[in-house]
Amino acid sequence: MNRSKILRATAFVTFCLTGLIQADVVITTDTVQDGGVLTVDPIGALAVHGATEPQLTLTNGATWTGVYAVVVGTQESGDGHMRIDSGSAVVVEHVEPHQNFDTYDGINLYPGDAHIGLGEGSSGTLVVHGAGTTWYNKHSLVLAGFANSHAEVNVEAGALLRASNLYMAQNPNTSASMTVTGAGSKLRLQSASIGNGGTANMLIDAGGMVESIGFGAELANDVNTHVSLVIRGVGSNWTEYTGMSMGFDGEADVRVEGGGQLWVKNSVQNSAAFIGDWVGHDGPGTAAFTITGAGSTFRANRFFVGRESTLIAEQAGRILGNGVVGNGDAAPGSSVTIRGPGSRWDGDAFISRTATLLVELGGEINSIDASAFHAIVKDTSSAWNVADELKIEAEPETASDVLIQNNATLTVNGSTTIESNATLTIDHANFTRFAGNATAPITGGGRLKILNGSSVHFQSANIDALEVSGADSLARGGTSKFRTMILTSGGRFSTYDDGVIITGMSEAEVTQLVANGYNNGAWDGVNGIGSTLADNDGYAIGVASNNTTGTWLGLPISPTDQMIAATLAGDTDLSFSVNFTDLLVVAQHYNTSGDTTWDEGDFNYDNQTDFNDLLAVAQNYGLSALSDGSITIDQSLHSRFDSDWQSALMGIPEPTSLMLLGAVAIVLSRRAH
């Protein structure tokens, strides 16, 4: 670079010039340009540095343009400071080809670049102040680009700073800080690399704005790098049009607080917000991202939380967007926490097996679809609302669990899938359907646990195990299938006017559960199976052991499966009608005791088939229970009870048949009344 024509200010000077200077402009003492237009040689640099740390001030509409590069503070010549205010402007041109460069103090300068702190050990500051004041860097703005250098930039009071690329703390032992503060203050970029070896701090405050419209932003993208980003106050925001990574190889600490906003628009395909290391990179990077305070918002079409990284919304902070938390073994230790009243995450939530989700103290998640290996939703007013499908995932070698506890609520409008080796636990909490709609099924090979006073209603379920434990704990379901049902410590299961299949328990074990629920016909006994339908006259809950392969109530059924249904007393085969088949069973087992079952004519679970059971058949003979709970009657069959009873006795030995003839006379007199 031509160093023969250099303007050196040797005293405090005020410039009011319009002209062309064919060389570098080097400021070595405090200097003010008050108004005027200065056009610098397209191959010239504007440099501010010196032993006394000089400051160059542009004020009252002063304009410097056409600068090849700007340097504030250098390694060889000392530190420097620059201030632009009162409607002044600096334009750092970008001339082609960009590969052309020259040197300043032995360091390459490219067209359109500005360095705040150029060279090892240097320090520089830049202040852009006031409405109408602008700095336009048509290529790269570099803050502390060399080892042991330091830089500070403040954009304030409505000023505008534009740069194609922003680089901060780009080497080890560098430090850089930037503030964008005050209503109307704005930083506009194509891309940003904040912390790539050093320490970088960025504050967007009191209505300041950052807009990045090109190639994304990277925070803490190298090892041994620490970056702090704070977006604070109503009106303060960062809008990122492409993607953003936080803590890919370094450490990023990001806070959105006091009504600030961060919006990653993901306008380019496959772009997203990445919080921490991701996709098996296996680097040391981590990120801690907190959204705190009413009005504080993080929005992204998609975001990912990587290894050992955290995303927290608290004190009414909000997250909007679909998120993936963890990436299996590639991203262990990642977590999302939604904490406190008004704190919300609106978006689909996918929680991997090495990650955790915590919703507490009144926090809320609203998803369309969601899946999780591990999640806890706890405390009064805390809620997870899923508009469509919830899947609780697991792997054969790794058990998983989702816990809803302490008065929290899980609401699922669509299906709930609990995979094998997974458990959904409702512990002193609520598991409901939107608008009371309980039609969606619960499926999978996992376990549903309802504990300590919780109440869960579902239309259908087909899972491995149902466990209901604790006083006032209740599961109420329609047509369902379980391998096992465990009712302990006061827990109850109540069936609708449907049926239940249990595949992994004996008839005696299932009968005992129904007998516990019978409670002298009230059908509300603890540790038992009951039904509000069974409260109706003529109804009871029956148990039958299946002996064929086929379907029952639309569900596949195998031999030795146990069938349970709220049906008419006397319906021995759970066909939902009482007819000659049932009458014959009672006749064949009449006056037997000790171990008789429902399908042997014991309809009140007193372990015997006797007159009371015969009376139940007589009263319901010819009746059928419909799926809506109503009853129809076949009057012809009902009126033939006495003759059908005679036919049923034909195959019974004479002493027993004579006794039964006496019994039927009493039955007929009861029916007449």
**Token pair recorded at residue 585:** 């069973």
Higher pLDDT, 268 or 407: 407
259-286 per-position pLDDT tens digit: 999 999 976 666 789 999 765 556 688 9
More confident residue, 310 or 93: 310
By residue range, what is the domain housing residue 613? 570-672
Q: What does the mean pLDDT of the chain come to?
A: 88
Would you list the DSSP string of 144-197?
S-STT-EEEEEEETT-EEEEEEEEES-STT-EEEEEEESTT-EEEEEEEEE-SS
Task: Give the model's pLDDT for residue 2.
Answer: 30
Q: Is residue 11 part of a domain?
A: no
> In this structure, is residue 578 part of a structural domain?
yes
Q: What is the pLDDT of residue 328?
A: 63
Residue 597 lies in a domain: yes
**Is the pLDDT confidence value at 517 over 50?**
yes
Confidence of residue 381 (pLDDT cuts 50, 70, 90): very high
Percentage with pLDDT > 70 across the chain = 88
Residue 220 confidence (pLDDT) above 60: yes
Note the pLDDT of residue 274.
92
Quick one: pLDDT at residue 280?
A: 53
Q: Specify the amino acid at residue 142.
A: V
Check residue 78 and give its pLDDT.
87
Is the whole model's pTM more than 0.85, yes or no? yes
Closest C-alpha to 304, from 239, 230, 246: 246
Angstrom CA distances, 279 to 115, 171, 295, 363, 397, stand at 34, 25, 32, 29, 22
List pLDDT tens digits, range 140-181: 999 998 888 999 999 999 999 999 999 999 989 999 999 999
Question: Dmax over Cα atoms in the chain, in whole Å?
Answer: 135
Q: Is residue 126 in some structural domain?
A: no
Q: Give the number of C-alpha atoms closer than 13 A to the C-alpha of residue 572, restricted to the C-beta side.
A: 23
Q: Identify which has the larger pLDDT, 48 or 657.
A: 48
Cα-only R_g, the chain? 39
> Who has greater pLDDT, 339 or 67?
339
On the question of pLDDT at 17 being above 80, the answer is: no
Between CA 511 and CA 561 the distance in angstroms is: 13
184-194 pLDDT tens trace: 999 999 999 99
Read off the pLDDT of residues 348-377 as tens digits, 9 standing for 90 and up.
Answer: 999 998 899 999 999 999 999 999 999 999
CA distance linking residue 510 with residue 551, whole number of Å? 20
Model confidence band, residue 247 (pLDDT cutoffs 50, 70, 90) = very high
Most confident of 15-24, 70-79, 618-627: 618-627
Assigned domain for 437 exists: no
Residue 620 domain-assigned? yes
Q: How many domains does the chain divide into?
A: 1
The two tokens of residue 656 are: 């027993």
pLDDT attached to residue 15: 36
- DSSP summary character for residue 577: B
> According to the model, what pLDDT value does residue 496 have?
78
Among 25-29, 270-274, 462-466, which range has the highest average pLDDT?
462-466
Q: Fill in the amino acid letter for 429.
A: A
In a domain, 643, yes or no: yes
Mean pLDDT lowest among 191-200, 509-518, 647-656: 647-656
Cβ-contact 169, 140 below 8 angstroms = no
Q: Which of 18-27, 205-214, 377-386, 540-549 has the lowest mean pLDDT?
A: 18-27
pLDDT band at 435 (very low <50, low <70, confident <90, very high): very low
pLDDT at residue 8, rounded to an integer? 30
Flag whether pLDDT at 28 surpasses 80: yes
Q: Which residue has the higher pLDDT, 671 or 568?
A: 568
CB 163 within 8 A of CB 189: yes
The more confident residue out of 370 and 659 is 370
Q: What's the pLDDT score for residue 672?
A: 45
What would the mean pLDDT of 112-134 be, rounded to a whole number? 93
Q: How high is the pLDDT of residue 673?
A: 45
Torsion of CA 179, 182, 184, 187, to 10 degrees: 0
Instruction: Examine residue 656 and state whether it is found in any structural domain, yes or no.
Output: yes
Residue carrying structure tokens 């950052």 = 210
